[in-house]
Structures are given as structure tokens and as C-alpha cells.
Structure 1
Amino acid sequence: MKKVSIIGTVGIPACYGGFESLVENLTKYSSDDVNYQVFCSSKSYSEKIPEYNSAELVYLPLSANGVQSVPYDILSMIRCLSIRPDVVLLLGVSGCMFLPIYRLFSRSKVVTNIDGLEWKRDKWGKIARKFLKLSEAIAVKYSDIIIADNQAIGDYVSNEYGKENVIIAYGGDHVISEKVSDVDKSDYYLSLCRIEPENNVSMILEAFSQTDLKLKFVGNWDSSDFGRALKSKYKSYSNIDIIDPIYDIDELFVLRSQCVGYVHGHSAGGTNPSLVEAMHFTTPIYAFDCNFNRYSTEEKSFYFSTSRDLVKCLIENAHNEEKLNFVASSMKGIADRRYTWEIIAKQYERLY
């Protein structure tokens, strides 16, 4: 049995984002050949259970996000020097400045998922971008195996660093609720994301403000000036429903099941968990036109680059049942073939 220590997440049970959902499902679907150990932030859990999904939980007194993510990951690696796992699975590159030192004193195999080119995101300043880019370069150099969650990122790693890598995406089938059934379709489109400029939130809202088509948009509107400004501008439109974050899986299941189309504006980050989740609902996908999204959907969804594009795409296809059914069934077929957690867990275990 191989002991695998996972570094770089808030922890499990999952209560935050994509990497946390990944770890939750890696442990849920783990084979008898793997024994997981997960580093968790004690600041995110009032109850510190010692084990979850048969994985040992190790708590550290630092935040896993923001500035503290760097010492959090480094402290996790320092702990691994005494734990001596067979494999260290690094999720993200925040603490990879320490990786060269770790490799001097450890024989553990290092597998790193470099995430979605974090240094390119609009939210980071110049210094933070340089730090993250350097961390990425160190991660690629000192890891035994690099995981990219999207072919476009894999191509980037190959071209930028001349390093072979493995493409493993995310599962999305955890969003299918077994408690809710017989949900009828409604007449609205749905968008769901963190309210950040790179997710083209304003582009989507602008498009729907020019039509009579209904949009329900779920996000953390009150977490930034950007979000609050958009909420104030568009909340008066009768066809646009601005909705605060929803974390209940059954409530989200109903929203996703009832919508007539899912609008995905992400322009960065590789394979986006919210996209692969939506693909499991046999729903037409309208995705922002970038290489990440085209790869994830195998170029079979609808695509837009501007508000005008989106308006045209929505109106032209609103009553084209043949095209809508083709896109919807294609998305579901791709999701079942590529984006289930049982498949993803096996792909990770092959690397250990």
C-alpha cells in the first residue's frame, strides 16, 4: 500500500473550491492500494475530525488561501520530511519555492497539479504574478510528474518548459442529487461563478440586458467592488435575477436541472469545475470562446466572444430544437466519458 500525502488545499470535508472537491473524491473513490493523508487548515474547521473517507487528516494552524498559502504549503512539506510518504501530491504551486530544499532531504515521489496558470489571472498584481510564475517554473523542474487539467495547459507546459505532462481533468458527477427527482424544465438560462472580471460576468449581463430572455446568475456579488457595481447596475432588469451564493447541492441541482441553457464565461484556469458539472445535466452550453473551453467541450458547444456574439447565439438557436438537443446530448456524453470522479481517481492512482 502506498502512502500519499496531499498538500495545497483547505482540506476535507470539502467546503471551498475545485481542489477541495478533487481531494474529497480522490479519497472517496480510492482503492485498497492507496492510503491518503490530507493536510487541512485548522482555521477552516471548528470540528477537527481525525479521519474522513478513510484518509488521515493533519491540521495546520495557518490559512490555506491568500498570503498564508505559501507558508501553509511549506509547513506541510516540512511535516512530510518526518512522515516520509511514498508520494507527495501538490495541488497548486504556492509553496513550490521550497520544493528544491524538500527534494534534498526526501525520496518521496512528487506529483504536482500546477492548476490553471494562476499567474495569468487578472486579480494578481505585478509582484504576485512574477512570484507565481517563478513558483510554477520551480514546480515543473523539481516534480517527478506534472499534471495539467486541460490539454491547452499541457501544451503550454510542453512549449514553455519542454516537460512531458499528464492530462487529468475534474469530475462533475458529484453534483447529481439522489434526493431530488422529476424536475421540470423552466424558461431561464443559468450562469454560476465567482464574480471576477476574467469570468466575463459583465459581458454576460450586458448580453441578457439586450434581450427578453431570462437569466439567473449565481455568484459572490458582495465580495468585491466589481461585483457590487454589477449587482447595482443589473438588478433592476426584470429578466435578470441576481442571486447570492448557493452552497446547498440539492438547491443547485434544481437550478441546473430546470435551466434551458448554461452560460459559461470563464476565460482562464484550464478545465473549470463549474463547466464539467454543468455538462452532466444534458443542457446546452454557451461557453466563452477560448482554447480551454473548446478543449473541455470538444468543440461541440455554442461559443461567444462578445456580448453581441452571445445575443446572436442565444436568439438564433432559441427554437432550433435539433441543434439544442445535439449540443445537450454531446455535453452529457463527454461528461460521462471524461468527467466522472471514479475515472479521475483511477487516473491519479496510476501516477503513484
Structure 2
Amino acid sequence: MVKKVSVLGTVGIPACYGGFESLVENLTKYSSDDISYTVYCSSKSYKNKEKDYNNSSLIYLPFDANGIQSIPYDILSMVGSLFRGPDVTLILGVSGCVFLPFYRLLSKSKIITNIDGLEWKRDKWGKFARKFLKFSEALAVKYSDVVISDNQAIADYVRSEYNVNSRVIAYGGDHVMTNKNTGVVPQDYYFGLCRIEPENNVEMILYAFSKTDKKLKFIGNWDKSQFGIRLKDKYSKYSNIDIIDPVYDLSTLFDYRANCFAYIHGHSAGGTNPSLVEAMHFSKPIFAYDCNFNRYSTENKCSYFKSPQELIKLLYSDSDLYINAQNMKSIANRRYTWEIIAKEYESLY
């Protein structure tokens, strides 16, 4: 018997934005024959509106899936899903969960919600937005049949805050291994990749490298905010720092990752970060910001920093980087492949 699953809360597929979109892309790619997905997509993000993709039905709504419009976007997705009668509703993120009590009342569908990485704690939100997102999170936990945490640290929070046990399922990262058969010549640069936001400690990383002769290539959406524009203007003047505008092509990103000496990961929030588990597949040493999210993801087996001084010390350290790199690859193969992740989601359905 085919199980119908509605997926709400993402920009949509084909993936063109971030972690949740890559998740849905690969859940549908590795889907079993007895799962039928319907994915709600933002018409604002797709010129070519395909009706199906990866054997999944796509439905488009006229709102942005991020920012303030994510609230009506998610609510309208739930309303649409009511009429389709799915067996399972998979909600990714909590911004529209103010409507979830009504959806629960009107639908016979089982509800699974991935609450993301404590969105209300992010520095980019103002006071009102934080309170709203925290309220939505509480409703999501209360009215879902299953809550998914993408990191054990998030699960610990859900348990302590709401007295609810959540299911820990991370993200895959092996989709980035696009050019496996090409020749790779490791170079002497360090590599960073993220959205340019304060909680990703971009400024700390750039400052540290500006005090060294070590080369850094850093990809991000620098021109999206005054914060990013300021950092780009200040640190692009350093000859050892290469500020690179967003790159979405996986083959190009493969070359950056495969040829670097080591990967620098500054995220301090958000649970299991997709960019981290992607980097772990490349058998490269990883220097990660020291927080419980990153320590859980890397099983305490990479190198950690919490200040510019600590990062500078790591850059000149004689620690065994080969062991660091091999540990990252081993963990990635064991925990962060999409085939494994898809099976874990389907076991919940």
C-alpha cells in the first residue's frame, strides 16, 4: 500500500536554496516505491515550474518561503494539504506552526515536524520575531506526532524545555561528491563556506586569518546584508584572503573543497549544519567552532576553536591532521549519507 506524504516548509525542489531543500531533494531521490511525495514549492523561486520531480508531485504557492512571507506560505501549504488527505505530513521548520493546532483538528494525517536548529535563537531576528518563532516552536512540539531534531544537542534541548523525546536524524552530505574520478591536487589554502551571518562567526575567522600568512578562500552571500558588505570591503584588501561570491554549482564547489588543505567551520547555532557534514566527506582536516552542536556532529574528533587566538594557534599547530581528516570521513560514511537518512525518515512514516 502506497503511503502519501506531504512535505511543507521548504523553498521546494529541485533544490536551489539550503539544507531543508537538499533534504527533500534526496528524500525523494532515494524514496521507496511505496512512498508517494507531494512537495509544496515557492513559485517565486522557480521560472520553470515542473509538475513532478524525482517521481514527486510539485505544488506551487505565490509566496516566498523565507522571511516574513514564510508564515502565510506555510499556512497556505497546510490548507492545501488538508484537501489532499496525506497519510503523513512532514513539516520542515516551525514558522507556520501557529496554524498547526487547526491542521491537527481538521486532518487525519500523522504529523512529523523537523524543528530545525532553534531558529528563534539566531542573532538575525529581532525581539518580536524571536518570541513568535519560540511560540511556533512550542506549538510544533505540542501538536506533532513525532518531532525530529537534527542533532543530539537539539534533542537534549527539546527534552529539557518540553519534556518530549524527539527522534535524532541528521542530514546527508554525499550528494556533493560529484567529481569522484577527477584528479585532485591539494593546495595550501583553507576553505570556508556559509551564509554570512553573525552566528556563523565569519568575522572571527576573517580576523584570525588577517593576522597570519595562511591563505583563505571564503564563499558566501556577502552582498545580502550590511554585515556582509562591511566584511567584504574590509577583508578583501588582504592578499591572503579571497572573498568569493556565492557558488551553487556542485562541480565547482567540489573543486574548492577537494583541493583545499583544511575546512574552517564557524557555525555556532542551527544543530547539524549541512555544510559541515558535506565537508566531512572530503577526507580533509576540519577546524570547527567549539559548541555542542559541532562536537556532536564530529564526535569530538576534529579540531576546535572559540576565539581568533585559538584559531590562529590551530593554523600553526603540529597536531596530527591526517587523523582528524580520516575520522571525519569515517563518521560521514557511517552517519551522513542520504541513503541512510532517507531510510530513517521512511521508518517514521
* 2:308 equivalent in structure 1: 307
- Counterpart residue identity of residue 114, structure 1: I
Answer whether contact 1:179 1:250 (CA < 8 A) is retained.
no
* 1:17 equivalent in structure 2: 18
- Establish whether residue 90 from structure 1 lines up as the match of residue 91 from structure 2: yes
> Cα distance, 1:58 vs. partner?
0.8
TM alignment of 1:273-288, pairs within 5 A: 273-288=274-289
TM alignment of 1:146-295, pairs within 5 A: 146-178=147-179, 181-295=182-296
Answer whether contact 1:121 1:268 (CA < 8 A) is retained.
yes
TM, length-normalised to structure 2: 0.99
- Counterpart residue identity of residue 163, structure 1: V
- Partner secondary structure for residue 280 of structure 1: helix
* 2:330 equivalent in structure 1: 333
**299-308 or 41-50, which moves further after superposition?**
41-50
Distance 1:215 1:48 in 2: 38
RMSD: 0.8
Distance 1:213 1:178 in 2: 27
Distance 1:38 1:255 in 2: 32
> Cα distance, 1:233 vs. partner?
1.1
> Cα distance, 1:60 vs. partner?
1.0
Q: Deviations over 1:54-111 (max 9, x none)?
A: 0001111111111111111111111111100000000000110001011111110000
Distance 1:220 1:43 in 2: 19
Answer whether contact 2:41 2:61 (CA < 8 A) is retained.
yes
Distance 1:26 1:10 in 2: 15
Which structure 2 residue ranges, 5 or more long, are not aligned? none
- Partner secondary structure for residue 38 of structure 1: strand
> Cα distance, 1:179 vs. partner?
6.8
TM, length-normalised to structure 1: 0.98
Answer whether contact 1:202 1:230 (CA < 8 A) is retained.
yes
* 2:52 equivalent in structure 1: 51
- Partner secondary structure for residue 128 of structure 2: helix
Which structure 1 residue ranges, 5 or more long, are not aligned? none
- Partner secondary structure for residue 300 of structure 1: coil
> Cα distance, 1:186 vs. partner?
0.5
* 1:7 equivalent in structure 2: 8
Answer whether contact 1:180 1:250 (CA < 8 A) is retained.
no
Distance 1:69 1:213 in 2: 41
- Partner secondary structure for residue 13 of structure 1: coil
- Counterpart residue identity of residue 348, structure 1: Y
> Cα distance, 1:178 vs. partner?
3.4
Q: Deviations over 1:264-292 (max 9, x none)?
A: 00000000000000000000000000000
> Cα distance, 1:50 vs. partner?
0.7
Distance 1:241 1:301 in 2: 24
TM alignment of 1:19-168, pairs within 5 A: 19-168=20-169
- Counterpart residue identity of residue 223, structure 1: K
Distance 1:252 1:173 in 2: 13
Answer whether contact 1:84 1:108 (CA < 8 A) is retained.
yes
Answer whether contact 2:179 2:254 (CA < 8 A) is retained.
no
Answer whether contact 2:196 2:222 (CA < 8 A) is retained.
yes
> Cα distance, 1:163 vs. partner?
0.5
